[in-house]
Amino acid sequence: MKKVWKVIAQFWPTLVVIGAILYLSLSSSEELPSMEIPYLDKIAHFCMYGGLVGMFSFDTYRSSLLHGSRRKILLGGWLCAVCFGGIVELLQNFCTDNRSGDWFDFWANVLGATVGLVAGVFVVRPLVNCLFGIK
């Protein structure tokens, strides 16, 4: 049980992002501000999932608990984010009255997660190395 709390302590920023995505994706769309910007919904999905994988990359690189290939861990995190995005779209479609699942939202999630993974490797990793002195 102590190890679970250590992991939560190391990955709490990623967990906060997951909570924010769930709230924004499953709450009533009437509660969210509306703007007349074309494709704003897709841009939001792209940013949310890019931010999720980027934050997971940050937590992964700064974590002292992880042993093994960080590449495999990051790819696993990317795959989990993609699956999470698909599950959230299904929840929107089948478990909410005022939201609907959308394939284009799912593909925006996948594209955002992919860009987040690339940014994690080429931007976040050097940043963590510089800030925390972790290799």
Average pLDDT score over residue span 13-38 = 85
CB 80 within 8 A of CB 53: no
46 or 69: which leads in pLDDT: 46
Q: pLDDT digits over 67-93, tens only?
A: 778 889 999 999 999 999 999 999 999
Q: List the structure tokens of 122.
A: 């080429």
Per-residue pLDDT, 115 = 98
The string of pLDDT tens digits covering residues 118-129 is 999 999 999 988
pLDDT at position 76 = 94
What interhelical angle do 70-95 and 40-62 show, nearest 10? 140
Domain boundaries, the chain: 2-26+39-132
Distance (Å) of CA 29 to CA 32, 34, 124? 5, 9, 32
Tokens of 76: 């696993």
Q: How far apart are CA 28 and CA 22, in angstroms?
A: 12
Quick check: 94 pLDDT over 80? yes
